[in-house]
Structure 1
């Protein structure tokens, strides 16, 4: 959509790390549900339907368990009349971070209590802490959002370039200490400890770590979003095939001719049943 996009981060306190290890599906699903419920509630106060793309990360720079949700939120939504409302508030922030943190904490603890997980002492501890909802500066537009998602959606706990040395007993890797302004440091762990920490971030089988909500959900993408883009005169990128003739890689004489362009969801059905090979001209 032709608007600014906001980057929010919902972080869980370390007191929930034990539950993340013993019941990861419950904890991470609750994190997704509560983050959207919180954002959706604030959107309703503005009388609009928002959207969100959420990406789950479970690690910190030193491979410790640090569950948090990166959320991309368009700076606009749909009002009750089905029309696009461009701005929520300003270009600097989406909603009050302190207010969102309190609502996020209350909704999460309530769901956790309803699920029967966590004793009274844990509930009191969770309520006594300030939960973190971090709001970064908004993206300039859709292109920056796509670039961000391309870099962050398929990251793992540690990338190869951070690993400095591997021996028979130890692994040395680099990390940033954000408690000291992102200062670059190095850490050395035994092979067993390194594998233990890395294993903390292997998600349960078939668990979906990238989810879409509201006007960015699958149901909206099946027609509603396209209609909305058309009403706002959004120009959709159309792939244009090359017009220059290219030589056949096999015979080096014939020219390759474009017959059809496959869509993003695969070739047309009639192409799946072609029995005769197509000859090059």
Structure 2
């Protein structure tokens, strides 16, 4: 279902001011420009016509940017489809590693160092507890997904991690986590180790001020481990919600006025109560821009026995250990949109008759029935 309002609308409405905004850098501006032009004549497209009833339709190209609210559906489904064959028949835990707001200012000016350190510290923490015989005594694995936003578009860097409830011993035997995979590691102890690992990782990348380090050690850091998923398939449902999210979806935008943008959000301090917030349009854009990741930064990473260099060996090995064959992946519908479907005669009879350059379609085409998708 098409959203009534879009982030792109706010950008087009205030683009001149956005281009000269002192808190939006060149890389962010380049990304915002792609979002502004997504599925418009600026990116070109093609003209389709129905061979049965003669209906014509203009389809404009997508920007395919990973921060675009309109371009993530297909990418998400394709990624999940690939992960389905890698699911282990074991309990999985959802672990969240959150950075304190003390690091927010540094994250705005040194985002790569802050976020790379977050990935490293989270994995080193899980790995440290997993290899300890008191907790597990085995090699663990982890899939980590970076989110940088809160519900009100504030800066709130955290990792959503999927951790199998067990690991491989040095003899390549599968070892299940405590209480038959119902308990992972003590989160209070993990929080302290995570803090120390993070400071060490950050110091390896930049030279932070001593005052910042002292303040970080005075803070209580948060690691949260949810109960294990009921079934490995539930992991896929979870991943579908988190992997390709952007800072705000178009469906959450309720109104775009000349001066303010109004959107919905959930207040988890009030039991996920749904509320509304209005921001000045440029402030809305500035907050959205804070969540544009640095060029080349990978926001979904695999570690340990689920790492890209190891999983082709470890996944079949674990299945053999547990005596459970790897299931054939179920077919998934990767895209609900059918480009051959005619909206007029309801038949699959649309064919492409003209390719449109990036400067947009000729005037003659505009007289036809035009629909963006």
Measured against the shorter chain, the TM-score band is 0.7 to 0.9
Counterpart-to-counterpart distance in 2, 1:231 and 1:113 = 41
Shift in Å, 1:165? 0.6
Q: Which residue of 19, 30, 33 corresponds with 2:120? A: 33
Counterpart-to-counterpart distance in 1, 2:194 and 2:304 = 18
Secondary structure class of the residue paired with 1:137: coil
Shift in Å, 1:90? 5.4
Q: Which residue of 15, 18, 28 corresponds with 2:102? A: 15
TM-aligned CA distance change 1:239 to 1:113, over 3 Å: closer
Shift in Å, 1:88? 3.6
Shift in Å, 1:60? 0.1
Counterpart-to-counterpart distance in 2, 1:59 and 1:20 = 12
2:250 aligned with 1:160, yes or no? yes
Structure 1 gap segments, 5+ residues each: 242-248, 250-281
Partner residue, 1:129: 219
Coordinate RMSD, CA, aligned: 1.8
Shift in Å, 1:62? 0.2
Counterpart-to-counterpart distance in 2, 1:131 and 1:150 = 27
Q: Which residue of 198, 215, 239 corresponds with 1:108? A: 198
Structure 2 gap segments, 5+ residues each: 1-87, 332-339, 341-373
What is the correspondence of 1:1-281 to structure 2 with a 5 Å cutoff? 1-45=88-132, 46-89=136-179, 91-238=181-328
More divergent stretch after superposition (221-230 vs 14-23): 221-230
Secondary structure class of the residue paired with 1:139: coil
Counterpart-to-counterpart distance in 1, 2:128 and 2:330 = 42
Shift in Å, 1:160? 1.8
1:245-278 CA distance string (max 9 Å, x none): xxxx9xxxxxxxxxxxxxxxxxxxxxxxxxxxxx
Shift in Å, 1:151? 1.7
Counterpart-to-counterpart distance in 2, 1:35 and 1:49 = 15
Counterpart-to-counterpart distance in 1, 2:282 and 2:142 = 38
Counterpart-to-counterpart distance in 1, 2:239 and 2:308 = 17
Q: TM-score scaled to structure 2, two decimals? A: 0.62
Secondary structure class of the residue paired with 1:54: strand
Tell which has more relative contact order, 1 or 2 (C-alpha 8 A, sep 6+): 2
1:225-254 CA distance string (max 9 Å, x none): 21331332223232699xxxxxxx9xxxxx
1:174-203 CA distance string (max 9 Å, x none): 111122332221100011000000001011
Shift in Å, 1:112? 2.3
Partner residue, 1:262: none
Do the aligned residues in 2 keep the contact of 1:93 with 1:135 (CA within 8 Å)? Answer: no
Do the aligned residues in 1 keep the contact of 2:125 with 2:193 (CA within 8 Å)? Answer: yes
